[in-house]
Amino acid sequence: MRRRSLFCLLSSVSCLLLSAQADSPQRLAARARGDTPLLGDLRELCDTIGGRPTGSPACDRAVEWAARKFRDIGIKDVSVEPFTGQSLWLPGSAEAAATEPVRFNIRIAAAPMSPSTKGPLEARLLDAGEGKPEDFEKLGGAIKGAIVLVHSAEMKTFDDLFAEYVRNTTLLESARKYRPAAMLLESTRPRGLLYRHPISLDTSYAPMPTAVISREQAERLSRLAQIGDVRVRLAIVNQMAPAYQSKNVIAEIRGREKPEEIVLIGAHLDSWDLGTGAEDNGVNAAMVIDLARAFHDLGLVPRRTVRFALFTGEEQGMVGSQAYVARHRNELDRFAAVMMFDMGSGHTSGFFLNGREELRKPVNEALAAVDGLNAGQHLPDAIDGTDNFDFMISGIPNLVAFQDPTTYLPDYHAESDTLERVNAQEEKTNQAVAAILLWSLAENPERPAKRQTRAEVEKLVIDTKLDEQMRAFHQWDDFKAGKRGLF
Ligand SMILES: [Zn+2]
């Protein structure tokens, strides 16, 4: 009798628990669509900490802030995981002026991985067109010791942005050969807008000071150079060091039935510094924090363990998530899925499946739980350029949200990436999508897909042409050597 009543009690508790869990997607969506602390958190991050390049005191403050946020929510398992990055680059000051034939101040932003000038540098400005090898060849010996101006087309699409990154490799080759004193790269955004654009995509510093220059002023200098000699003065001071320390912040809600299996949702916490990193990627860092709050406050404990990850070092080449994957290499078999958000607050229209077509069905089934999300336009492409990368090439099923790029691209890494850019209304739907998908991936009895073998990853890399991106971003050699992509 006693045993039986205990059994009844237990089964009614588990019944209650089950019915409480069955409507979890609806509860998560309703919460996301209401008033949440997300935007208040984002405001703190952007306004009181601001731009937070990895290795800077501001980034360290952001790490402390994020860990405190997770703890304040009531999450017991919060860890701050240190890692070492190579080749610190932090911006200091960057000033420029035309001195001949007319004096005027020029707006520039030092390119990450650019060295400092050795005191003020004044030299003749040479227009090197689009900066192609033949443009450098035409100018020949005149380039040595001159300041070279390189023109850029306006950036309108992701392809344009990718082309701007890819151009660096040939630009640096020409620069090493012809040895200008400095390079000025025309801003791809009009109306004087400046942004951080790394000149080197690995841990090597550029051979000469390099900066992005206001588009209109670049055009003026170019016109002046057509009618006579132009001289420009530059003074750039950056901070460099062989290595730096940074940290990832990880909060965990332990699964109720399969705690050894893990689903991870992540966003990068670091940013460039000209703006305050609101769209890239403060809003998604704040979303990851608020998702942890949602699960905690609603008392939702899914079958699997959920990890809420805020990585740093993303802008330096996904260094933080790379370190995370290396640190956790012995548990990679237990990662059921990984999901990243890194495209601001524009509408989430679907997910990059990253070459894993088998993810389409479980994602659609998860999102079907709630009406009006309009997030079913998935893309088969494998993308390189955010924190899914090291998970992807380690065989783990991974998703990256595809969000409306039209509001994201103009402010990318720019002075204008501030709180005003964030679309509070869309962000509510984005959060609902993220919450429902996270719940489903962590709750479904079956894993959404299996971990791939190294051979399967190698096939995926070729089939999706990911190798082209990996070569452009200087990751290919490490992948081939087995230093990236861990098994
Ligand atoms: Zn980003």
CA of 85 to the centre of ligand 1 (A): 18
CA of 343 to the centre of ligand 1 (A): 7
Residue 20: its pLDDT value, please?
A: 59
Query: What is the torsional sign of CA 403, 427, 51, 311?
Result: negative
CA of 304 to the centre of ligand 1 (A): 27
CA of 340 to the centre of ligand 1 (A): 10
CA of 50 to the centre of ligand 1 (A): 15
CA of 315 to the centre of ligand 1 (A): 7
Whole-number percent of the chain with pLDDT over 90: 94
Amino acid at 172: L
| Nearest Cα residue to 155 out of 189, 104, 119, 200 | 189
String of DSSP letters for 311-346: ES-STTTSHHHHHHHHHTGGGGGGEEEEEE--STTS
Residue ranges with CB less than 5 Å from ion ligand 1: 280-281, 342
Interatomic CA distance for residues 140 and 144, integer angstroms: 8
pLDDT at 18 over 60: no
Mean pLDDT, range 302-319, rounded to an integer: 98
**pLDDT category of residue 460 using cuts at 50, 70 and 90:** very high
pLDDT single digits (tens) 116-160: 999 999 999 999 999 999 999 999 999 999 999 999 999 999 999
**pLDDT category of residue 5 using cuts at 50, 70 and 90:** very low
Amino acid at 153: A
CA of 16 to the centre of ligand 1 (A): 41
CA of 341 to the centre of ligand 1 (A): 8
Which residue bears the tokens 């309009």? 374
Amino acid at 110: A
**pLDDT category of residue 2 using cuts at 50, 70 and 90:** very low
CA of 153 to the centre of ligand 1 (A): 22
Query: What's the burial of 364, exposed, middle or buried (CB within 10 Å: 0-12/13-18/19+)?
Result: middle
CA of 386 to the centre of ligand 1 (A): 7
Residue 22: its pLDDT value, please?
A: 86
Residue 21: its pLDDT value, please?
A: 81
Query: What's the burial of 148, exposed, middle or buried (CB within 10 Å: 0-12/13-18/19+)?
Result: buried
CA of 314 to the centre of ligand 1 (A): 7
pTM, full prediction: 0.95
CA of 176 to the centre of ligand 1 (A): 30
